[in-house]
Structure 1
């Protein structure tokens, strides 16, 4: 069985308060692909849905979710601190594992063409290969690539593009007003000679709370831990840290407990196996479905702890053989489990590797 290329999409929708709308968007996506997470923020009035699957499944899931958003969200009555241009605002396509960024760009174009053809919502392309950024679009410096120049009266426009994995990371600031927080945000940005791979904004939330909101788009150069260290070096008083959506294990801090991308991928793979075992019926498959359901829940809640990450890698790798033996494994689920296992393995730090050398060698042999 050939392992399929795997892609993630992390669409951002302009609704973070109405549970029925959020559920409808997530359900539309789940009908076609694996929904790994739904993370709604009422202050930003925004929800981030994390989706994974093969190329065709991701496109179909996005069309369903975008359609649900267009039907239910009216930007004319929208309020929230986060900037936006659409009901289905930003649709990034992210290659996972060995999948190519250029293929992700093709998926972005496939998605955008269908959005315009089927929903008549104008589309901007951004990111890899496009020569424009979300900032360009939000500032009105470019016109839609499909449709326009007028935007949809209630749904605005959709921004679709390919990018590498990033971490959306927020930090609450103490004893800081919005003016000072904006100065901190400006100084942290790569574009202002701050930290490499950092985009930053500052928001004032209800209750006179101030939040530093960042995208870390080159996590191999600047991780959440690097951001916290830099803020501490500057003497910035910090409160709660928040990962929005999911975080790759290799840069996960305690703020990402239960929100580790690879843990959610492995959990979704186990859940898919459980569903297929239930469909097949029989005593053995029924018992395995119960075990897989429990495994799915535990993997989805994986903490950012070295022992747990190593164990998660071993469990994800073992699930490939378990599902093969049960004859419920397909190429997409195999890709999810292998990408999860490899990502978790890569997150095991040298000190942990030296302690568990035999386990690491066995895991590497299984993943070879």
Structure 2
């Protein structure tokens, strides 16, 4: 991961102020064994910060010059102290920008330079061994700390990317679910509208009252499809509240406007996970749509059995008692769509003729009630 280096000019200014401003103070405690600051010393103090200003464009060259200037400053005998800030910042920037090899090479060379400098007897600030151990420990601790910080930043970046990827994946899955919901809503209600419109046209001359009932069903179905479309589309708007999708509590309403005689039975009762309840509703909805489309006048029985580990759904019709005047409608994707819904939850669905009619049986797995 690369560190943003747009702040290096400001960083260079801060380092320049610190090195030039504090070095005279550091000089007072080292008069006995270090040389006083001269114009050359102040010039050397400014070279490191100047290299930080161009670090973004010339990272390696500016780093090498910064360390070379530091070596010259030390070998000239000028006071220790703020001069080391520029190379410390350079090492940190190199590591955080992914140039770890260059950083470790410069750290190793710096350690060697200081050990040779002390070994030649030029260093007069204390015992050579103490000096060697102190500079070695400082360089090692600093490099390890910088590496740990780099690792921490990379892990946080990976976690952030993982969260973003998971968010995109969930958004994609949500869009697929909404697309499937919208497809089912449209397919069911448009089929119902077509069925009732065909019935109304067939009965309007001889049985106008029955035609009126069919037209009333068309009105309700069109109102519902508009409402559900609005609910789904609202989810696509940023910040829009998520409206609940149709659930099993609306089966009676679904049965009333299905166009066939429906009996609903519940064997047991328990709270259901939202995906299971939605799938169960859509399976019943599609089955009633198929019954109204292909078996007008039939009686349909819907049975929901709540087991310990699965929900069993059975929808059976007794067969058509009048011609299907709307048989040309439909894409033939109803049963495969129901199977896909059941399979997506780890369940199964079987559909086929049963006696004179048709039967759909689905099993949807449920979690344990105490989980």
Q: Which has the higher helix share?
A: 2
Tell whether the structures are fold-level matches, with TM greater than 0.5. no
Give the TM-score, by structure 1 length: 0.23
Larger Rg, first or second structure (1 or 2): 2
Give the TM-score, by structure 2 length: 0.23
